[in-house]
Chains A and B, each alone.
Chain A
Amino acid sequence: MKGYGAWSLIREGLRHHLGWGRAWGSPAPRRRYEVVIVGAGGHGLATAYYLARNHGITDIAVLEKSWLGGGNTGRNTTIIRSNYLHDPSAAIYEKARQLYETLSQELDFNIMFSPRGVMMLAQTEHEKRVWQRVAHANVLQGIDTRFIGPEEVKRRVPIINIDGPRYPVLGALWQPRGGTARHDAVAWGYARALDRMGVHIIENCEVTGIRTEGGKVVGVETGKGPIDCGKLALVVAGHSSRLAEMAGFRLPMESVTLQALVSEPVKPMLDVVVMANTVHGYISQSDKGELVIGGGTDGYVNYTRRGAFQHVEETVAALVETFPVLGRLRLMRQWGGIVDVTGDRSPILSKTPVENLFVNCGWGTGGFKAIPGSGWAMAELVATGEPGALAEPFALSRFREGRFIDESVAAGVAH
């Protein structure tokens, strides 16, 4: 397999690009692996990658029921930021954001990280105070954000309507090194790196059962036969409750549909990410010129990936109010993903009631930004059997002990 540098590009350019080869293989599963990871989304792949890179474990299989990166990782609006209120969240999201800065170089795969700046609008007095509070918290956490006034908002986003009739823009929380990345490329980049390290990624291989002996996990049943394992990590986002049920425990989570849409491509008009939480819509412009728009979740359990239409309507109404210039734009595509929303809207990286079985889930509406940091922390948990500083606050036990990480208070919005 080749590197993706300038020389190979020139050589392949001269050979009609016939010699690139596959970026990752499709091996037949072995009978046993030291670690089995269920779910080849960003978080599962990153967990495998840092297990290999940081802990020297390469006897790993990542089992995916459909195609790699086809879950929420390939369906999200790709916003990356770390401007959270609480210290545990700030730590893991900022770790991820920092890893994103150099991930293209590390993986030798252009993930198109674009730290163009993320702006979270304050459109009520309450929201203004919340963002000011977050900005102060971020100073203490060493995260580069600040609260900016409406003039600076208008200067950075000329198309915005700052004195909207319902919700005038009173300022914004600004994170200059937040931004976006290419979602598929993150999954593909990790997959290619894993393949090079000898890790098996097995697609079209659904896990249908979990085998335990004496309270310990020993293997899984799959569409491609039984596979034994020393340790098992469930990293399946919206399907986590189902996998947990197979292992005999329940998670503090519900799965709902979250939708997104893109417009027809237009000339460059917006070079930052804007999130309008009060009216509930967020928007950025892709390199192809499409406006990428995210909306709200359904309020009920829904595994269909078809969200309710009123959320599309609400999102579009909110955006047209904030950006009147979008009023005549046509929308090209709309889709949904099944997101895993926990009781306190924060993720779970944890041991479970079953020995050697670990879960990484609950990233809900906002886990794309966390992929490298989550993989890093999860790898440590799986390799050593104990959480490190990043994962420790996100244990399942917090729901029993009342140690919530309640980010929904700070940002009750999907992103």
Chain B
Amino acid sequence: MLRLTCPHCGITAEETELRPGGEAHLERAGPGASDEGFEAWLFARKNPMGVHFERWRHLYGCGKWFIAARHTVTLEVFGTYPAQTKAPPADLVERIRARLSARGGQAEPGAGAGDGEGGKA
């Protein structure tokens, strides 16, 4: 079971206390946007084998939204930050990079970093 720390209230909550909310930092298509823009916002997903920045809601706690950086192959959680943040914080990105290169994986957060089930991850 995943355990994430809510950056708003500081509680480390189990997955059952939280509600997943999908990929974070998507660019919202507004009125007048192209069909491609709407498609990208509503449907196109990175779905990476690697580091994923994703929205969570502390549903059965303080109720607030936040963003977690999590590895989709190892389930390692690198950190969380409030949902109001526009882009992943620089220090978190740096930490992820260090963790991945220490493990001998790909050093670029956001790029696919694992090699799937049964692999070295």
Contacts and interface: CB of A to CB of B under 8 A. Distances in A.
Interface of A: 66, 239, 241-242, 245, 250-255, 298-306, 308-310, 338, 342-343, 399-401
Interface residues of B, number: 33
A303 B46 contact: no
13 contacts: A241-B45, A254-B45, A300-B20, A301-B47, A301-B72, A303-B49, A303-B114, A303-B117, A308-B1, A308-B2, A338-B117, A342-B43, A343-B43
A401 B44 CA distance: 14
Contacts of B70: 300
B39 interface: yes
A255 to B, nearest CB: 6
A239 B72 CA distance: 12
Contacts of B42: 343, 399
A59 B102 CA distance: 45
A304 B118 CA distance: 9
A343 B114 CA distance: 24
A310 B16 contact: yes
A252 B42 CA distance: 8
A392 B116 CA distance: 32
Interface of B: 1-2, 15-16, 19-20, 22-23, 35-36, 38-40, 42-49, 52, 54, 70, 72-75, 112, 114, 116-118
B15 A400 contact: no
Contacts of B47: 241, 251, 253-255, 301
Nearest to A306: B75
Nearest to B70: A300
A338 B35 CA distance: 30
A134 B117 CA distance: 38
Contacts of B20: 298-300
Contact of A304 (B36, B48, B73): B73
B44 A304 contact: no
Contacts of B39: 252, 399-400
A85 B47 CA distance: 28
A342 B39 CA distance: 13
A303 B117 CA distance: 7
Nearest to B75: A304
A239 B116 contact: yes
A298 B23 CA distance: 14
